[in-house]
Amino acid sequence: MPTGVALRDPRQQLFDAAERVLVRDGVTGLNSRAVTAEAGVAKGVLHRHFADFDAFLTELVLDRIARVEAQAASLRDAAGTGDVADTLTDALITGFEPVVLALVVLVIARDELRTRLRAAGTARLPLVGESAAMVAGYLTAERDLGRLAPDADVDALAPTVIGAAHLLFTEQEGGPPEFAAVRKVVTTVLATALR
The structural domains of the chain, with segments of one domain joined by +, span 8-49, 64-189
| Contact in structure between 38 and 14 (CB atoms under 8 Å) | no
194 forms beta bridges with 148
Q: CATH topology for 64-189?
A: Tetracycline Repressor; domain 2 (1.10.357)
CATH hierarchy code of domain 8-49: 1.10.10
How wide is the angle at C-alpha 102 spanned by C-alphas 61 and 42, nearest 5°? 65
Same fold, 8-49 and 64-189: no
> How far is the C-alpha of 37 from the C-alpha of 14, rounded, in Å?
10
3-state SS, residue 156 = helix
Predicted pLDDT at 7: 52
Predicted pLDDT at 5: 46
- Which residues in the chain show pLDDT less than 50? 1-5
Spatial neighbors of 71 by CB under 8 A, at least 6 apart, are 91, 94, 95, 134
Predicted pLDDT at 1: 43
pLDDT in tens, 63-91: 999 999 999 999 999 999 999 999 999 99
Predicted pLDDT at 175: 80
| Contact in structure between 99 and 90 (CB atoms under 8 Å) | no
